[in-house]
C-alpha cells in the first residue's frame, strides 16, 4: 500500500495538466485490485460517474441508500442508470441495526443531540460504507477543497486508516466554476435540488438550502450549525480521532 501511495502522490504532480477522465484512467492503471467510487448523487459525484461510465472504466460506482434520501435523489439515480446503461450499486443499513436505532431514539431522534445524530449516521452510512469498501484497494470520493473549511487541507491521495484502504480525491483542486462547466459541456444529469439552493445533498431531514455567504456544506445538519456546532461531516471521511484526514495545503500537488 505504501509503495502505491508513493506512486499515486508522484502522479498527482501532473494532475493540473490532466482532465478528470485522464485522472481517473491513470488511477485505474496504477492501482491493482478493486476500486470503489462512492456517490452521494451530488454534482461532483455525477461528474465522476460520467467520467467512469463514459470510459467504461473498471471502477465500481456505489451509493449509500440510507432510506431517508430526497425523492429527487432517487429520480436522479434512475435517470443516471438509464443515461449510461450501467447500474449504481446500493448499500443499505442492516435491518436489525436500523430497527434498534429507531426503537431506541425514535424515527427522528437525531434532532435531539449530536450524539444521536452521529449514531444515526453511523448506522445508515458508516456501517454500509464499511461493507462497500470490504476488499477494496482504493476508495474514490468527490471531495473538493473549497466545499468547506474543514476540507481545505486534504490531499489528492491518502490512506484511510479506518477502512485500511487508499483514498483518492481526484476533484480536490476543482472550483465550482470548473465543475459547472464540465457538467454543462458533457450534458451530465444533476439533481434538481441544486437549482434550489442545495449545493450539498444528503438525507432529506438533515439537509436544507444554504443561505447567501454560507459554504457549500452549511446546509448539512443545519440545526447543529445554527447552535454553534460546526458539524458538517457524518463520519465517512474522518480518521480514528474523529477528524478529517488531511495534509498541508501546499502538499496537494506534492
Burial of 112 (0-12, 13-18, 19+ CB in 10 A): exposed
Contact 32, 136 (CB under 8 A): no
pLDDT given for residue 229 in this prediction: 57
For the chain, how are helix, strand and coil distributed in percent, rounded to 5?
Answer: 45, 15, 40
Active site members:
234
Give the integer Cα–Cα distance in Å for 204 and 218.
Answer: 14
pLDDT given for residue 228 in this prediction: 59
Show the 3-state SS of 105-159. HCCCHHHCCHHHHHHHHHHHHHHHHHHHCCCEEEEECCCCHHHCHHHCCCCCEEE
Give the integer Cα–Cα distance in Å for 212 and 242.
Answer: 29
Cell numbers 501546499 correspond to 250
**Residue with the larger pLDDT of the pair 153 and 151:** 153
This prediction's pTM? 0.87
**Residues facing 60 on adjacent strands:** 36
pLDDT-derived band at 247 (thresholds 50, 70, 90) equals very low
Instruction: Specify the DSSP element, H or E, that contains 224.
Output: helix 222-226
Give the integer Cα–Cα distance in Å for 114 and 226.
Answer: 13
By mean pLDDT, which of 53-67, 87-101, 234-248 is the weakest?
234-248
Give the integer Cα–Cα distance in Å for 22 and 26.
Answer: 6
Q: What's the mean pLDDT in 150-168?
A: 86
Q: What is the pLDDT of residues 116-145, one digit of tens each?
A: 999 999 999 999 999 999 999 999 999 998
- Report in angstroms the alpha-carbon separations of 188 from 138, 168, 193: 25, 22, 15
Q: Give, as one character, the DSSP assignment of residue 66.
A: -
pLDDT-derived band at 204 (thresholds 50, 70, 90) equals very high
- Report in angstroms the alpha-carbon separations of 93 from 63, 132, 234, 246: 12, 11, 15, 28
**Residues facing 36 on adjacent strands:** 60, 139
Q: Which residues contact 186 (CB under 8 A, 6 or more apart)?
A: 47, 50, 54
Q: What's the mean pLDDT in 157-177?
A: 94
Q: What's the mean pLDDT in 33-47?
A: 97
pLDDT given for residue 248 in this prediction: 33
pLDDT-derived band at 89 (thresholds 50, 70, 90) equals very high
- Report in angstroms the alpha-carbon separations of 217 from 72, 151, 187, 210, 231: 18, 10, 25, 8, 9
Amino acid at each position: 500500500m505504501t509503495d502505491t501511495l508513493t506512486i499515486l502522490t508522484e502522479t498527482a504532480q501532473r494532475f493540473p495538466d490532466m482532465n478528470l477522465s485522464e485522472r481517473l484512467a491513470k488511477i485505474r492503471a496504477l492501482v491493482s485490485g478493486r476500486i470503489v467510487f462512492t456517490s452521494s448523487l451530488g454534482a461532483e459525484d455525477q461528474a465522476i460517474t460520467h467520467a467512469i461510465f463514459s470510459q467504461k472504466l473498471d471502477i465500481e460506482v456505489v451509493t449509500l441508500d440510507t432510506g431517508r434520501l430526497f425523492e429527487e435523489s432517487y429520480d436522479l439515480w434512475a435517470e443516471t442508470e438509464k443515461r449510461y446503461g450501467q447500474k449504481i450499486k446500493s448499500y443499505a443499513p442492516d435491518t436489525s441495526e436500523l430497527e434498534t436505532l429507531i426503537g431506541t431514539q425514535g424515527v427522528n431522534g437525531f434532532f435531539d443531540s449530536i450524539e444521536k445524530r452521529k449514531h444515526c449516521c453511523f448506522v445508515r452510512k458508516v456501517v454500509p460504507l464499511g461493507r462497500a469498501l470490504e476488499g477494496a484497494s482504493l476508495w474514490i470520493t468527490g471531495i473538493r477543497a473549497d466545499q468547506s473549511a474543514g476540507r481545505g487541507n486534504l490531499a489528492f491521495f491518502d490512506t484511510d486508516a479506518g477502512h485500511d484502504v487508499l483514498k483518492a480525491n481526484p476533484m480536490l483542486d476543482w472550483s465550482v466554476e470548473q465543475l459547472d462547466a464540465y457538467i454543462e459541456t458533457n450534458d451530465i444529469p444533476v439533481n434538481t435540488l441544486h437549482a434550489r439552493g442545495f449545493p450539498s445533498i444528503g438525507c432529506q431531514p438533515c439537509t436544507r438550502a444554504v443561505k447567501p455567504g454560507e459554504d457549500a456544506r452549511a446546509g448539512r445538519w443545519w440545526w447543529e450549525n445554527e447552535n454553534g456546532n460546526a458539524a458538517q461531516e457524518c463520519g465517512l471521511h474522518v480518521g480514528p480521532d474523529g477528524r478529517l484526514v488531511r495534509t498541508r495545503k501546499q502538499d496537494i500537488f506534492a
